Amino acid sequence: MTVAFWCVLIALLLPILCTSIAKFGSGRFSLRQNHDPRAFLDKLEGLPRRAHAAQLNSFEAFPAFAAAVIIADILGNAEQVTQDVLAVLYITSRLLYIICYLADWAALRSLVWFAGLGLIISFFVVSA
């Protein structure tokens, strides 16, 4: 399995990291709230709420990244090392995005988000 495919798995797991921060960072989460976790998460404030928002964005960004990696692999026009580097850079951008979200650095977060989008687009460009 390629590094790029491993990065797809990592991207799939990043929302779990965010939701763990949201739930357990609040100090109020118990298994009772797990019966209706969405209602619990919607009531959060501060850092736990930002972690929840980062979780939602991570779920939203995942399909485009996974599709880009799979399409680049199927087409086979880009060198594997190029695909792997783009994928690692994308994961790095997502980690930075999460950090920016948690730290409430809105402007920097937006720039990092655009960098991640640019990396997804790069998969298509190098595969053309």
**Is 0.75 surpassed by the pTM of this model?**
yes
What are the residue ranges in the chain where pLDDT is below 70?
29-33
pLDDT in tens, 70-81: 999 999 999 999
Which domains are present in the chain? 3-127 (1.20.120.550)
Q: Which of 54, 44, 53, 1 is nearest to 23 (CA)?
A: 44
